[in-house]
Chains A and B, each alone.
Chain A
Amino acid sequence: MALDRFENTDTEVKPQVSDSNLSDHDLIAIVRQGDESAFAEIMNRYRNPLTNYLFRMLGDYEEAVDLAQESFVRVYFALDRYRTDYAFSTYIYRIATNLAISELRRKRRRKLMSIATFFPGDDEEGRELQPADERIRPDEELVEAELKSVIEKAITALPDKYRAPIVLREIQELSYEDVASVLGLGLGTTKSRISRARALLREKLKNYVT
Chain B
Amino acid sequence: MGDDIEIIGETGDAKVSGLLKKLDRIEAPTDFNAQVMARLAAGRRREGGTLFWWFSRIALPITGMACFALVIWFASVPAPGDLKADVVLPETRSTSAPNIIIDEPSPYEAGNQRVANNYQKPRPKTNRVAATPEARPTSRDFAVTEGAAKTPGSNSNSSGSGFSDPFVFEIRDVLRDLGLETDDAGDRLVVRSVRANSVAERAGIQAGDRIETMDDRRITKNTRFDSKVEFTTLTVFRNGRQIVVALR
Q: Does A147 contact B (CB under 8 A)?
A: yes
Looking at the assembled complex, report how far the CB atom of B5 sits from the nearest CB atom of chain A, in whole angstroms: 7
Q: Find out whether the CB atom of A209 lies under 8 angstroms from the CB atom of B39.
A: no
Q: Find out whether the CB atom of B26 lies under 8 angstroms from the CB atom of A76.
A: no
A76: chain B residues at CB < 8 Å are: 40
Of the candidates A48, A50, A77, A195, the one whose C-beta lies within 8 Å of that of B13 is: A195
Q: Does B80 contact A (CB under 8 A)?
A: no
Q: Find out whether the CB atom of B23 lies under 8 angstroms from the CB atom of A151.
A: yes
A106: chain B residues at CB < 8 Å are: none
Q: Find out whether the CB atom of A73 lies under 8 angstroms from the CB atom of B19.
A: no
Q: Does A69 contact B (CB under 8 A)?
A: yes
Residues B1-47 near A (CB distance < 8 A): 1, 4-5, 7-8, 12-13, 15-17, 19-37, 39-41, 43-44
Given contacts A6-B33, A48-B27, A48-B28, contact A210 B8 (CB under 8 A): yes
Looking at the assembled complex, report how far the CB atom of A60 sits from the nearest CB atom of chain B, in whole angstroms: 11
Of the candidates A4, A47, A140, the one whose C-beta lies within 8 Å of that of B28 is: A47
Of the candidates B4, B16, B33, B41, the one whose C-beta lies within 8 Å of that of A43 is: B33
Q: Does A26 contact B (CB under 8 A)?
A: no
Looking at the assembled complex, report how far the CB atom of A50 sits from the nearest CB atom of chain B, in whole angstroms: 8
B44: nearest chain-A partner, CB-CB: A3
A55: nearest chain-B partner, CB-CB: B26
Looking at the assembled complex, report how far the CB atom of A170 sits from the nearest CB atom of chain B, in whole angstroms: 4
Q: Does A201 contact B (CB under 8 A)?
A: yes
CA gap between A148 and B19 in the complex, in Å: 8
Q: Does A190 contact B (CB under 8 A)?
A: no
Of the candidates A7, A61, A170, A210, the one whose C-beta lies within 8 Å of that of B37 is: A7
Q: Find out whether the CB atom of B1 lies under 8 angstroms from the CB atom of A143.
A: yes
Q: Find out whether the CB atom of B1 lies under 8 angstroms from the CB atom of A144.
A: yes
CA gap between A137 and B32 in the complex, in Å: 37
Q: Does A44 contact B (CB under 8 A)?
A: yes
Looking at the assembled complex, report how far the CB atom of B60 sits from the nearest CB atom of chain A, in whole angstroms: 26
Q: Find out whether the CB atom of B27 lies under 8 angstroms from the CB atom of A43.
A: no
Q: Flag B138-169 by CB within 8 Å of A: 1 or 0 each.
A: 00000000000000000000000000000000
Question: Interface on B for A, CB 8 Å cutoff?
Answer: 1, 4-5, 7-8, 12-13, 15-17, 19-37, 39-41, 43-44
Name 9 interchain pairs, CB-CB below 8 A, sorted by A.
A10-B34, A48-B27, A48-B28, A51-B28, A51-B32, A144-B1, A170-B17, A170-B21, A210-B8
